[in-house]
Structure 1
Amino acid sequence: MTIKKFPLVLAAASLTFVAACDPAGPNQMQNTQQGALIGAGAGAVLGALTNNDGSVRERNQAALIGAALGAGVGAGVGNSLDRQAEELRRALRNDVGVSNNGNNLVVVLSQDLLFATNSTQVSRVSQNELRIVANSLNQYPNTTVNVIGHTDNVGDASFNQGLSERRAQAVSAILLGGGVSPNRIRSIGAGENNPIASNLNASGRQMNRRVEIVITPN
Structure 2
Amino acid sequence: MDEASFLAAYEPRDYPSVAVTVDVVALTIRGGELCVLLVERGRQPFAGQSALPGGFVREESLARAALRELAEETGLTPGRDDLDRVHLEQLRTYGNPGRDPRMRVVSVAYLAFAPSLPEPTAGSDAARAYWVPVQEAKDLAFDHDEVFADGLERARSKLEYTPLATAFTGTEFTIGELRQVYAAVWGEELHAGNFHRKVLSVPGFVESTGETTAKGGERGGPKAKLYRAGDARLLHPALLRPTREDRVR
TM surpasses 0.5: no
Which structure carries more helix by proportion? 1
TM-score by length of 1: 0.30
Which structure carries more strand by proportion? 2
TM-score by length of 2: 0.27
